[in-house]
């Protein structure tokens, strides 16, 4: 299945990657690898993510305290957020899945 990130989700990933880059020691690359593995998992097994509200699913990143929030459509999975686990669920709840 095709996986597409909304502009907001892309910004989430970029912001988190920058935060890890500032900490050094290659954490930003490991974070990006974890995001890419999660997106690949969504592509291969789209229904794997836990339904958290309505049609929104969440899959956790391996090795990082982040969740990838997405909605399934007939031909694609649309990622609406990639957020730290400590963030309020309302942060992704306000985003439209078809952005």
pTM here? 0.88
Structure confidence at residue 90 (pLDDT): 61
Contact 27, 21 (CB under 8 A): yes
Biggest distance spanned by C-alpha atoms of the chain: 40
* Domain interval for residue 23: 2-93
| CA terminus-to-terminus distance, the chain | 18
Is 20 within a domain? Answer: yes
Is 50 within a domain? Answer: yes
Structure confidence at residue 25 (pLDDT): 85
CATH of the domain at 40: 3.30.2310.20
Structure confidence at residue 99 (pLDDT): 45
Mean pLDDT of 21-39: 94
- Which of 45, 42, 35 has its CA nearest to residue 70? 42
Is 46 within a domain? Answer: yes
3-class secondary structure, 84 = strand
Q: How far apart are CA 71 and CA 59, in angstroms?
A: 11
pLDDT tens profile 44-98: 999 999 999 889 999 999 999 999 999 999 999 999 999 998 866 666 555 654 4
Structure confidence at residue 60 (pLDDT): 96
């Amino acid at each position: 299945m095709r996986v597409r990130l909304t502009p907001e989700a892309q910004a989430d990933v970029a912001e988190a990657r920058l935060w890890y880059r500032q900490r050094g020691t290659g954490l930003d690359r490991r974070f990006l690898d974890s995001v890419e593995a999660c997106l690949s998992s969504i592509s291969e097994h789209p229904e794997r993510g836990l339904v958290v509200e309505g049609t929104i699913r969440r899959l956790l990143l391996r090795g990082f305290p982040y969740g990838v929030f997405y909605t399934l459509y007939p031909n694609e999975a649309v990622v609406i957020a990639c957020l730290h686990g400590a963030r309020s669920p309302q942060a992704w709840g306000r985003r439209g899945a078809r952005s």
